[in-house]
Chains A and B, each alone.
Chain A
Amino acid sequence: MTEQSQWLREQIEDLAVRQSQFTDRAFWLALSRLVQEQGRRQEQLEGEIDGRTWRPDRW
């Protein structure tokens, strides 16, 4: 989870709890889960880029 996605999730969840209609709350909470998935994917991509750039054989 990146800092940005963590912050974004907090904003979304804060909005979600203030929705009185069930389906509205459901939407914002689902968006929060998607942002979590984005954060996870971002970390994985950054990790893979690091790993592939780390090539001691080409030093």
Chain B
Amino acid sequence: MTTLVLVSHPHLADSTSQQFLKASINSDEVLWEHIESQATIDIEKEQAQLRQADRIILQFPLYWYAAPAGLKQWEDTVLTRTFVYGDHRYPLAGKELGIVVTTGMPAKAFQRGGAEQITLDAALAPLAAVANRAKMKWLPTFAIHQFAYLDEPAKLQLVVDYQRYLTQTQPDNLQNKQAWFAQHLPAMIERLPLEQQQAGQLILTAFEQQQTDLEALTDTLGLIKEQEDD
């Protein structure tokens, strides 16, 4: 699977959260691009990248309940009517569109009665409408609230949650999560120092056993339920 991450941020170098997210990407299936650092937007290149990606991620800080101006400019330039739907070919159809948004306010602020009085889904509605027009599949939004206040355990968790958001099969359920880790484990074991690789292999074997046990239990339960229906 190919994922295209389009980052919009007017001062990327000053953003600790964006630098953190960039450093978290460990997959060669992920193409990362910063919109504002391009002097001019190469429409053909951008459209070609969109065509090639299976999952497109728009990543930005929330400014006044919307994406920064750079992303809007990119949209207005790249997402031409002809490209998105004008020729009835819908080249983006079936692709997934995910939003990674950082906010300065806590999660609880984004609800009715909260400090912001608006949900993130409501604030991002124009982007969801674009996804709908292009026949894309809208993914649940990945929001990072108050990055500066996250402690180390939360940051460690954010690394992998973000990686999974970029490359794991959706929906984010136990089965897909297991598959993602099973896929990444061999390479992670290879990265271990030589003296730790045996422990890594042991973990892999035990992890696979847990997966098999869970599948067997699920099957058993399925059989029992079937019999109850009879």
Q: Whole-angstrom distance from the CB of B183 to the nearest CB of chain A?
A: 12
Q: Which B175-218 residues have C-beta < 8 A from chain A? A: 177-178, 181, 184-185, 188, 191-192, 196, 199-200, 202-203, 206-207, 209-211, 213-214, 217-218
| Chain A positions 4 through 34: 1 when the CB is less than 8 Å from some CB of chain B, otherwise 0 | 1101100110110011001111111111011
Residues of B near A52 (CB, < 8 A) are 221, 224-225, 228
Q: With A34-B177, A35-B210, A38-B214 as known contacts, state yes or no: A25 contacts B156, CB within 8 Å.
A: yes
Q: Which A33-59 residues have C-beta < 8 A from chain B? A: 33-35, 37-39, 41-42, 45-46, 48-49, 52-53
Chain A's interface size range is 20 to 34
| Chain B positions 19 through 32: 1 when the CB is less than 8 Å from some CB of chain A, otherwise 0 | 00001101000000
Q: Whole-angstrom distance from the CB of A56 to the nearest CB of chain B?
A: 15
B192 and A15 form a contact (CB under 8 A): yes
A46 and B174 form a contact (CB under 8 A): no
Q: Does B82 contact A (CB under 8 A)?
A: no
Q: Does B41 contact A (CB under 8 A)?
A: no
B206 and A22 form a contact (CB under 8 A): no
Q: List 15 A-B contacts (CB under 8 A).
A: A4-B210, A5-B210, A8-B206, A8-B210, A15-B200, A26-B156, A29-B156, A30-B156, A30-B157, A30-B159, A30-B161, A31-B207, A33-B157, A52-B224, A52-B228
Q: How far is the CA of A4 from the CA of B184 in the complex (A)?
A: 22
Number of A-B residue pairs at CB separation under 8 A: 92
Residues of B near A30 (CB, < 8 A) are 156-157, 159-161, 181
Q: Whole-angstrom distance from the CB of A47 to the nearest CB of chain B?
A: 10
Q: How far is the CA of A12 from the CA of B181 in the complex (A)?
A: 13
B206 and A4 form a contact (CB under 8 A): yes
Binding site secondary structure of chain A:
helix
Chain B's interface size range is 35 or more
Q: How far is the CA of A30 from the CA of B8 in the complex (A)?
A: 28
Q: Whole-angstrom distance from the CB of A40 to the nearest CB of chain B?
A: 10
Q: How far is the CA of A54 from the CA of B217 in the complex (A)?
A: 16
Q: How far is the CA of A49 from the CA of B219 in the complex (A)?
A: 11
A22 and B156 form a contact (CB under 8 A): yes
Nearest residue (CB) in A for B160 is: A30
Q: Does B220 contact A (CB under 8 A)?
A: yes
Q: How far is the CA of A21 from the CA of B201 in the complex (A)?
A: 20
Q: How far is the CA of A17 from the CA of B209 in the complex (A)?
A: 24
Residues of A near B184 (CB, < 8 A) are 27
